[in-house]
Structure 1
Amino acid sequence: MKVYNFEVEDWHTYYVSGSEVLVHNQCGDSARVDDEIRKSSELPVIKRGTKEWDDAVEIIRNSRRSNFRVETASDANALLKEARGNMNHYKQYSYEKIKYKKGYETHNIKNARELTVGNDLQHIKWREGKSRGHIFYDKPN
């Protein structure tokens, strides 16, 4: 069987072939470093008031994809708001049905599809137009 490695833009899961094989896009590049996929828990933690935080704000504001890790859910919300302004909060995995233009979802680690792609921390998954990313956090608050 021939296997191809590609991502379908704007679709997290989709069916392929007459056999209806369900394919799961990687949930972002959870912790892609030097083309190596690692667990999100291996990302460095950035803290408010640091140069790393300021750099993260600029990267989230200006890039198409980004992934960061902070200490708490409040920090994740603050980082996203500082970088992208106010966004609507949607139920997890609702983008697959609604296709909103700007917003975020909170994903948990109790879902096997998150764990299989290295997302081993709770996180905000945000999107605005073609830009998107994850902000992982260690503590709910």
Structure 2
Amino acid sequence: MISLLFRLAPYAIIVAAIAAAFWFFADHVRDQERIAVELKSTRLRLSQAQMALARAEEVARVHKAYLQQAEAEAELWEKLANDLQSMESRDAPLSDFLGTAAERLYSKRAASTSDNNAATNSSRSPASLPRLPRTNPAQ
């Protein structure tokens, strides 16, 4: 029996080597398939990330344009505020329209604020403001 084992041992070794080679080849094929699936999912995630990046860049570009526009508007408002502040000391007469609007806004009434309701006291008119004489700057 031992002599039979010694005679068949080289064949058993060859069969074991072929089985190990087949096992390693099958394992290699499974690894390649797994790596191919991982590569496909990674490429998909990469393309999604690139699309998200492109959207974020577009949002950033639009936001930057909005901020530049807001800054330009703020500068215009600042210039307007400076112009209005520099005009405070000038005593120019108001136009008829602005004079009437100023009379309505800044009139002082003798009655209390509860009498200001137009439904209860429609006969009252706003107090008139003193008018400055009109000057023509061309003369």
TM-score interval for Structure 1 and Structure 2 normalised by the shorter chain: under 0.3
Instruction: State the TM-score, normalized to the length of structure 1.
Output: 0.18
Instruction: State the TM-score, normalized to the length of structure 2.
Output: 0.18
Which structure dedicates a bigger proportion of its chain to helix?
Answer: 2
Higher Cα Rg, which structure: 2
